[in-house]
Every structure is written in structure tokens, then in C-alpha cells.
Amino acid sequence: MAAPEETTIGRFKNLLGAGKSGAARGKGQLSGNELQQAISLLRDYEESGIGWFWSSNEDGRITYVSDIVAAKMSRDRDELIGQPIQSIFVLDRDDDSGSERTLPLIFSARKTFTDLQVRAATETTPIWWSIAGRPQFSSDGRFLGYHGNGIDITASRQTQRDASRLAQYDSLTGLANRHRMGKRLESTLTAYRAAKRSCAIMMLDLDRFKQVNDTLGHPAGDELLKQVAQRLQRVVVEKGCEIGRLGGDEFQILLPDIDDRGRLGEIAKTVITMLSQPYQIDGSRCVIGASVGIAIAPYDGLNSEELVRSADLALYASKGGGRGQFRFYSSDLHNEAERRRQIEEDLRDALASDQMRVAYQPIVDTKTNKVVTLEAFTRWEHPELGDVSPGVFIPIAEEANLIGALGNWILKQACVDGAMLPGHVRIAVNVSAAQFANPGFSSLVAQALAHSGLPPERLELELTESIFLGDSATTEEMFTQLKMLGVRLALDDFGTGYSSLAYLQHAPFDKIKIDKAFIRGITQEGNRNAAIIASIVSLAEALKMDTTAEGIEAHDELEEMRRLRVKQIQGFIYASAVSFDDVCEAMLSGEWVIEPDGPSRYRPERRTVLRKVGLIHEDHRYEVTMRNLSRSGCMVEGLVEVPTGTQFVVDFGEGQLAVAVVRRSANSMQGLEFEQQLVDDGAGGLCTRHRVSPYVMAQAGMPLAALPAGQYPMQLMQQPGMALTMPKFGQVDPKGKPAKVA
């Protein structure tokens, strides 16, 4: 057996082309001493770990490899000899060049190569090498294999990967950043456009996040963003989806191959619910919310710029609708955004120009039907827009930092009005979290009471759980100051999302207001809200607190609240909010007793809509008036002589089509039942699960003549030579006069 030294020398002689006779050596060949010196130098180079050598035969099998390679791969060197090159070296799959090269293809070219980056074929810690190779030929030109060398580039590759990750991922949350989300969205839409596939995006903005930064500091805000990212990753698990943080408290979710708005609405609701649950940040309890805007390609945009703009408009609408909501994009949001911009500008002058007024909704004693409290609501009579809903201008006031001034005005006016009413009636005023966080809020309350002369015990301040977002010591101090004034405190909207018994343990509330979400459907079989309300009432009684049920509309709901011992009722079954003049007139006798007036039983709301829709039958489209709408059907008016059982396609516009069957028909009125129920559109309305393109309709055999211009994102001309039938139904306008036949 050869000595180790001879074995090593033999390896290097092979690499250096040694072993030839002196006569065979040409110019540049090494002498014996030079060869020994070169072998010694190469051996030192190998053992230093800086680099190593390899060689292969004409069949692409390893004939030599340095010991360090085998050691890195945790294998014996003899195991590697004779193996195909690709069983040791794996072409780097992280290469973004798009090249289709493979190792056998590279070696079959029999050309010199340098800096070929490969991975070690090992399942352990990743190892990267840069290898070079030079083809070897015999004197007669026959290919003999490759001689080459390599160096370890693992450290530099890891540095490159880290740098690449920093360029594509958010360093705080680990989510994709704006750059990566933009590239991913653009590439997805480009590929899906050709394949006629759909892709949805959600734009997400955190509600009340700024308050966390302001009250607990930016480190707490950063920690909150990390927890938000973790929750999003747990909740959004659809195949192929990606979640990104675009900056600040703005997130984006990419959802390929989803256009089912029912499913998207469910995802959005789950996201909002999960992100609204309390957070623990450095021992402090934080509660935020989320608003979501949804857009779907190709209906709401064909490229990334259009789709993001549509989702942004939907997000803007969801925040304007009261936050903690989701919205789908629709074409009318452009007008709504412009209207909101105008409202924000005009709101600044509304108080000074005497456009604001206060309306009052009675809160009634459950047993006697006597009005015991009047809740103050803001009303805005805009000189051009008319009455603007509080659901529209209150969120705008919060964003524009006008809520403090508006809230203080309502407080003062409500106290002045309350002082003019009989002494047994209380005045309830809603207090925003921003007002409550003002260190001088208790002084403002004291001034309003002193100026009006209203006794403190007749003022009831309604607070939501968002007031507990700030520093607990500051919150408790404000509670102490308000109770020293003698005012009453009510916890509003109890039961919505993140209610905590700890609030009732520490905060000196006098009343709990049960949110209307717990009232809806309470009399329906299988509904468990009655047990929840019973528990809330028992808890309130034990703590000597009053209870008020909000949103009561039907007699069966009222009777259930009486059975559950709820003390007070607020809702349309007694009265909506009325002007102060109407309140004064109703209380001329000193007491205001209201007899409940409403439907006998609660039924899922059938929305009155009164708008034009299309009914498609065979190859004709009829314009009719839709008078009401529910998830399962609608009532339309405008066609005559329509037998029951007739099938229509209802065209709501913007690609929303619903197959429906006539279940009732009398004169010009038809009751339609949908084949597939509608879903929540996030704005208190309903929409179809899917939208349909004319291409799909044409493939299904629907005549293109039935598709009017302007109803769909893509339009097709009537096919030449298409035979049309005569219309089967006559049309009338809502007054019963004949209308033009479609």
C-alpha cells in the first residue's frame, strides 16, 4: 500500500498532468523538483480550507475531489469517487436569472466555465460553492473530462440572501414589504389576465392605532404591529395568499383565484374580529380595530395600479362607514370619496354657521312605558347636501381631529336642553375616546353643568370600551373626577367583540347598554342570545346597575326583554330620535308615556330599495323597479301576465346576475326567489357572491342581445344573424301605464 504522502502526490500529479516522460514534456512542463514544490503548495492550499480541487472523466463521473469536500458533506471521500457530478453538486435553484441550464447540459458543452454557483447535495446545513472547470483533451482531441477547483461561498451567499430578504420583507413584522407585494401583484395579474383567472386583494388599516403610539409610545406600537402580523398569518391561510405590511399600520392581503364575495366577506369579518381582540403590551391592555377594503380583478381593475386604487377607495368607504367594517369596491365609490372630501371641508364651518342640531331618542321604562332618559344625537343640516348621517360625518370628524370640538358642543347643548325638562328625565350624551382622554374633560363637564344649571345626577355619559385603551391610571383618575361631579356613567355597546368583566369590576358604571347585535333573532329557535342577556342582567343586578336593551323593533323582542328583566328599552318600537321641540311638546303634562308600536314578530329585514334592475328572459331584457330585497329574494314591479314558475336572470348591474324563479305574481308585482342567496356587501346591503362576464354568459348559451351596454366591464356586440324572439311579457310603469317593451 502506498504511503499517505505518495497517495497525495499521486492525486496532484494527476491534476498537474505529471507522469509523462521528459521527452514528452513540452514548453511550460514542470521538472521533477518543480512538480514536488507545486504539489506541496497545492496541498497547503487544500489544507488551508481556502479552496479545493476536483476532476471528472469523460462520462461526467468524479475521479478526484479534495478531502474537505467530503468532510463538509459528512461523507467518506472514497464514496464520492465514481459518482456523477450532479450527485455532489446541485445547480443553485435560487438563481433568478431564469436560465434553464442543468449540470449535465453545462458539462456536455465541454467548454471552460468559471464561477458556477452550486450547492452541496446534502440535507444538512446549506453549503454553497463556486466552482470552475477546464475541459481536458488528449493529443488526438479526444475529450478526457474536466479538471477544476472550487471555493466556499456560503458566508457571502447568506449575506446576499439576508440583503435580498431585507429588500423584500418588512424588518419589523417579517411580512412582505410594499416592494415585494407590488411585484407579486403585478406578476400575478399579468399571468391571470391571459388565463382569465381572478385575484382579490384586501387593503387593511388599523383603527385607533395612533392612540396606542400616543399613549404607550412607539416601542409599544411596534410590538402591537408584530402581534397584528402574527394574528393575520394565523387567520389568512388560503392557498397562494400573501400578507404584506405596506408601511405604518397599513397591510395588504393578496388572495389569488378567489372571486366569491361571500367567502371574501367571511375572511374580512374574521380578520376584523381577530384583530379587535385585546392585546397585552408590556403589561398594558390594548384594544384596536381594523377596517378592510376589497377589490377583485378583473372586475375592479386589470392591472395592479387600478386594483390597488379600487381597494383603497373601498377601504376609505369602510372607515367612513363607522370603522370595524369591510367594503367591496363599486363604481359609485368615486362619487362617495368626493362627497366625503367635501363633507370634511364643510364640517369645519358647520358649528360656527349654526348647521348642527341635537335630536333625542327616548329610553323607556320596560314596565311603565314612561320615558326616563333621552339620548342626544347629533344632526347636521347641510345647506347643499341636506341631512348628513352621523354615520358619515362622525368618523370624518374623528379623522380630522374635530370630534373634540363637536362632542363638547353636543355636551353643552344637551345640558341646556335637559335643564328645561322635568326633573325626573335624564339626558344621555355619548363621549368619544378622544374626549375622555383629554385631561381637561371633567372640567368641561363641570362647566357645562354650571352653565346650564342641570343637576349632575341627571347627566348620563355613555362610554364605549375604547376608553380603556389608554393608560389605566389616567383612566381611573378620570373616572374618579367624573364621579366626584356626581354624573352617571353608562357602558355603551356592551357585548360587541371584546367586552371584559374587568371593566365592570374597576369602572364605576351605573348602567350597561346591551348592544342590538344581541337582540336580533333572539326569539328565533336555537338562538342563544337570551341566555347571554340573562347573564348580563343578573350581573348588573348584583352590581346594582341598570340595564338598557338597544334596537328593539318588534313586540316579541320587547316581551322577551321584559321576561329577562331588562329595565329599560331603546328602539323604534317606541320612537326614533326627535327634535327638542317635539320632546317639549310630548312632555307638556310632565310625563311622556309611549305605547309600543311595531310588528308583532321580528323578521329578517327586507330592505326597501326602489331602484331599477333588469330581468332577463330568453333574449329580452326588461327594465323593472325592485321594491324590496332580502338574501333569498326580491319584489319587483313592472311586468304583467307573468306566470309563477317563470325563471328570470336578475341583473343588478356591474356584472351581478342572480338566477330567480317567480313564486308569487299579481298584476304587475312579482315575488322572486333566488337560486343562490345573496351575501353581505359590508355596507349594510347585499350583493351576489360572484360577478359574471359576458364571455361566460355567451358560453352558457345566454343570448348577447340580452346584455345592455354599460352593465359589464367587457362588452360584446350582438352576433350577426342572431334570431330574436318576440317578448312574452308586457311592461307597465309603477302607475300601471303601459311602458316601452324591451
- Residue 389 sits in the same domain as residue 473: yes
Residue 369 included in any domain = yes
CATH of the domain at 123: 3.30.450.20
- Output the pLDDT for position 735: 55
Residue 34 included in any domain = no
Largest CA distance in the chain: 133
The DSSP code for 495 is T
Query: Residue 410: which of 363, 448, 458 has the closest Cα?
Result: 448
Residue 270 included in any domain = yes
- 3-class SS of residue 579: strand
- Output the pLDDT for position 694: 44
- Residue 134 sits in the same domain as residue 66: yes
- Residue 500 sits in the same domain as residue 426: yes
Tell me the backbone φ, ψ of residue 470, rounded to 5 degrees: -80, -170
- Residue 143 sits in the same domain as residue 253: no
Residue 512 included in any domain = yes
- Output the pLDDT for position 381: 87
Which of 586, 616, 640 represents a domain boundary (last residue)? Answer: 586
Q: Helices then strands (H, E): number in the chain?
A: 22, 33
**Residue 163 Cα distances to 116, 119, 187, 333, 506, angstroms:** 21, 19, 22, 40, 50
Q: Which domain holds residue 720?
A: 607-731
- Residue 70 sits in the same domain as residue 148: yes
Angle at 313 between CA 311 and CA 314, to 5 degrees: 65
The DSSP code for 593 is B
N residues, the chain:
742
- Output the pLDDT for position 480: 93
**Residue 418 Cα distances to 108, 292, 306, 429, 711, angstroms:** 94, 39, 52, 11, 53
Tell me if 639 sits within 8 A of 653, measured CB to CB.
no
Structure confidence by residue, pLDDT tens digits, 509-544: 999 999 887 888 888 887 888 998 999 999 899 999
Residue 641 included in any domain = yes
- 3-class SS of residue 158: helix
Full-prediction pTM beyond 0.75?
no
Give the Cα separation of 284 and 713 in Å (integer): 50
CATH of the domain at 647: 2.40.10
Give the Cα separation of 644 and 529 in Å (integer): 38
Work out how many domains the chain is built from and give that number: 4
Query: Residue 86: which of 68, 101, 66 has the closest Cα?
Result: 101
- Residue 428 sits in the same domain as residue 552: yes
Pairing of strands 488-494, 284-286: unpaired
Which of 586, 616, 642 represents a domain boundary (last residue)? Answer: 586
* List of the chain residues with pLDDT < 50: 1-6, 8, 18-26, 95-100, 497-498, 694-695, 703-722, 738-742
Question: What grid cell was written down for 6?
Answer: 505518495
Task: Report the 3 state secondary structure along 391-437.
Answer: HHHHHHHHHCCCHHHHHHHHHHHHHHHHHCCCCCCEEEEEECHHHHH
Tell me if 583 sits within 8 A of 628, measured CB to CB.
no
Which of 586, 616, 651 represents a domain boundary (last residue)? Answer: 586
The number of CA neighbours under 13 Å toward the Cβ of 310 is 22
Between the two ends of the chain, the Cα-to-Cα distance in Å is 102
CATH of the domain at 222: 3.30.70.270
**Residue 618 Cα distances to 375, 613, 649, angstroms:** 54, 16, 9
**Residue 384 Cα distances to 343, 387, 388, angstroms:** 11, 9, 10
- Residue 530 sits in the same domain as residue 566: yes
- Residue 450 sits in the same domain as residue 477: yes
Residue 341 included in any domain = no
- Residue 57 sits in the same domain as residue 119: yes
- Residue 438 sits in the same domain as residue 552: yes
Q: Is 605 left (phi over 0), alpha (psi -120 to 50) or beta?
A: beta
Give the Cα separation of 631 and 636 in Å (integer): 15
- Residue 579 sits in the same domain as residue 641: no
Please identify which residue in the block is written with the cell numbers 317578448. Answer: 727
Residue 258 included in any domain = yes
- Residue 568 sits in the same domain as residue 674: no
Per DSSP, the residues of 251-298 read EEEEEET---HHHHHHHHHHHHHHHTS-EEETTEEE--EEEEEEEEET
- Output the pLDDT for position 497: 46
The number of CA neighbours under 13 Å toward the Cβ of 518 is 26
Tell me if 615 sits within 8 A of 624, measured CB to CB.
yes
CATH of the domain at 429: 3.20.20.450
- 3-class SS of residue 633: strand
Residue 392 included in any domain = yes
Question: What grid cell was written down for 228?
Answer: 397584528
